[in-house]
A and B are shown apart, each in its own frame.
Chain A
């Protein structure tokens, strides 16, 4: 029987994480600290007047940035944040140096999320405003049910490839997929793109086959006007990611928009 002990077993600890303050910036060491304490410390730092919270050694802690309100606040995450990051976030900028998991930007209202890595499934579910920029690949059901409301227009840009159900139920906003920073084999995007789409626009840097698209979607080559419309967004994305805008714009884009705002008008018969 082997008896080698490999040292301490890592896990989350329920404790207030250590933090240091330098001017407006508070740095928190999230190493193995349970999510509640990490997020409490984050909120406390902002309540105490900090403008920037840096979370180091993040791994799997859920709900980072969730529900935080304030336009001029910033959170920097070093590591792999857990589920539902930036859910219901309303204003701050949240920058992740690493990959993000599932559920980023769920029902987000305003602010900006920048992920310098890949992200998982169900990103931007019901997102109403703000921006989510992902450097790399994204999973299934990305941009699901993004919507627009009065002055709010949610924007999501992913630099890599996406799986099935990209832009499912999309009701508003802008969803862009570049296919440039990908580690995945296979097509730019999976099947059922824009299925159930009834608002907003999807731009793909490249082409899609008809089978990949939901039946509610019309596929067009992006016009010069279209490119002019998305160029400021791409410029902002390139700045965040350190990419070259001209290279991004060097390939033609495909534009997907809903063919109807009421795709199911004929589905029902009234009793």
Chain B
């Protein structure tokens, strides 16, 4: 069976997006700086990582998401792939979404000013039934302009994030979908298998893939709003609804983050940034801060361990993600999957040789792994961690941004950004 007839035969009915999509990037929902709406939704997700670094086709990610099709409603699908650009391992790759040619020209002016571009090309795509109103999609392999960069006296990662902010905040109709090295995000409005097919994911090979199927109950119908959310090489896909959003966002605001998208995913992204990069918590403990053990469990721990968890909980209580969720954080060194502390959203995991896979449903993993050595359901709040051999760990030691800069770079929401000059 080939892919085209498959799509023709799939049911394509889906709720009409609430917004006119013709505007897409130019008419991004006007996010207020106080996130005065909250987007509700449920979803399905997957993640796979080959710890040996062996590359897998993007088809695997599509297969895993296609099986979980009924977990979404066709209003958002997306993927992140790692190790997909071996020809440019040291270049930052910008995946760009443009509303129109003017936006492209303006964004490229920024690239020209601050970077050396070694390759600029349209994203390879194919026409897919069910996908319409796509923005102009381009990608750029670039490196900081050495002259500008030296003067900037900041790390290369910081330099990149500043550029992301500059584009997202000041270039109308342009949005940075991803900006990491040797990785990329492929996302849009549609069912995930349609999106994967649209982006020709079968032509990419990566050591780590994450995927997402979105079921928003209130959607801006905006390509940039689909999962994954990214910054540099980290990406987040997320399933569920965080009932503690109100306090999580207020907690982050006290550290300078601006929650402008009104999505749980955004909150989760900032919490990881705060805990891992700024507070330098080990990944395992950051996960435990976000999905804390119950007090009764903490009380049963040996005292040395209990002291750690008591402190984590007392200090990061406002950061705890309460309510049903499953989340996959991808980065160049691997991936982390985590779900809530009483397992209100599904997450299953499997291992086959050096491959570790997670998904919302076991069938997604059976579609990809022909003979898993082990299939298990992780305990509530117990992270599944995959580390690619030889890759850097932990993530982003070289990023020194403020919280509001991170907010701006992730969401691209105009209101959260002050115009930033690079270099």
Which residue numbers of A lie inside 8 Å of B, CB to CB? 1-15, 32, 34-35, 59-60, 62, 79-80, 82-83, 99, 101-102, 118, 120-121, 137, 139-141, 163-165, 183-184, 190-191, 211
| Least CB distance, B1 to chain A, in whole angstroms | 6
Instruction: For B206, give the chain A residue with the smallest CB separation.
Output: A2
Q: Contact check, B67 vs A13: say whether CB atoms are below 8 A apart.
A: no
Q: Contact check, A12 vs B67: say whether CB atoms are below 8 A apart.
A: yes
B172 at the interface (CB under 8 A from A): no
| Least CB distance, A105 to chain B, in whole angstroms | 17
B70 at the interface (CB under 8 A from A): yes
List the A side residues contacting B361 at CB < 8 Å: 60, 82-83, 101-102
| Least CB distance, B394 to chain A, in whole angstroms | 26
Instruction: For B193, give the chain A residue with the smallest CB separation.
Output: A11
Specify which of A4, A6, A11, A62 is in contact with B10 (CB 8 Å cutoff): A11
Which residue numbers of B lie inside 8 Å of A, CB to CB? 1-3, 6, 9-11, 55, 57, 59, 62-63, 66-70, 84-87, 193, 196-197, 202-205, 294, 296-297, 300, 342-343, 346, 348, 361-364, 366-367, 374-377, 379-380
List the A side residues contacting B300 at CB < 8 Å: 211
List the A side residues contacting B294 at CB < 8 Å: 191
Q: Contact check, B67 vs A1: say whether CB atoms are below 8 A apart.
A: no
| Least CB distance, A63 to chain B, in whole angstroms | 10
| Least CB distance, A270 to chain B, in whole angstroms | 31
Q: Contact check, B62 vs A9: say whether CB atoms are below 8 A apart.
A: yes
List the A side residues contacting B70 at CB < 8 Å: 35, 62
Q: Contact check, B59 vs A121: say whether CB atoms are below 8 A apart.
A: no
List the B side residues contacting A80 at CB < 8 Å: 362-363, 366
How far does the alpha carbon of A191 sit from the alpha carbon of B131 in the complex, in Å?
46
How far does the alpha carbon of A99 sit from the alpha carbon of B10 in the complex, in Å?
27
Per CB-CB distance, the 5 closest pairs between chain A and chain B, nearest first, are: A60-B363, A11-B66, A6-B57, A60-B67, A140-B343
Q: Contact check, A164 vs B9: say whether CB atoms are below 8 A apart.
A: no
| Least CB distance, B352 to chain A, in whole angstroms | 15
Q: Contact check, B367 vs A163: say whether CB atoms are below 8 A apart.
A: no
Specify which of A2, A11, A118 is in contact with B204 (CB 8 Å cutoff): A2
Given A9-B62, A80-B363, A140-B380, A4:B205 Cβ within 8 A: yes
List the A side residues contacting B3 at CB < 8 Å: 8-9
List the A side residues contacting B55 at CB < 8 Å: 2
Q: Contact check, B343 vs A60: say whether CB atoms are below 8 A apart.
A: no
Given A60-B363, A60-B364, A13:B343 Cβ within 8 A: no
Q: Contact check, A8 vs B1: say whether CB atoms are below 8 A apart.
A: yes
Which of A3, A9, A32 has most chain B Cβ within 10 Å?
A: A9
Given A8-B3, A10-B367, A59-B363, A2:B203 Cβ within 8 A: yes
Given contact pairs A7-B59, A60-B67, a sample of 16 additional A-B residue pairs in the complex whose CB atoms are under 8 Å apart: A1-B85, A1-B203, A2-B84, A2-B204, A3-B203, A6-B59, A10-B63, A11-B6, A11-B62, A13-B9, A14-B9, A60-B364, A121-B346, A141-B343, A183-B374, A211-B300
List the A side residues contacting B363 at CB < 8 Å: 59-60, 80, 82, 101
Q: Contact check, B9 vs A15: say whether CB atoms are below 8 A apart.
A: yes
Given A79-B366, A121-B346, A6:B202 Cβ within 8 A: yes
How far does the alpha carbon of A211 sit from the alpha carbon of B297 in the complex, in Å?
9
Given A4-B205, A163-B379, A9:B66 Cβ within 8 A: yes
A–B Cβ pairs within 8 angstroms, 11 of them: A8-B3, A11-B62, A12-B67, A15-B9, A34-B10, A35-B70, A80-B366, A101-B362, A101-B363, A137-B377, A163-B379
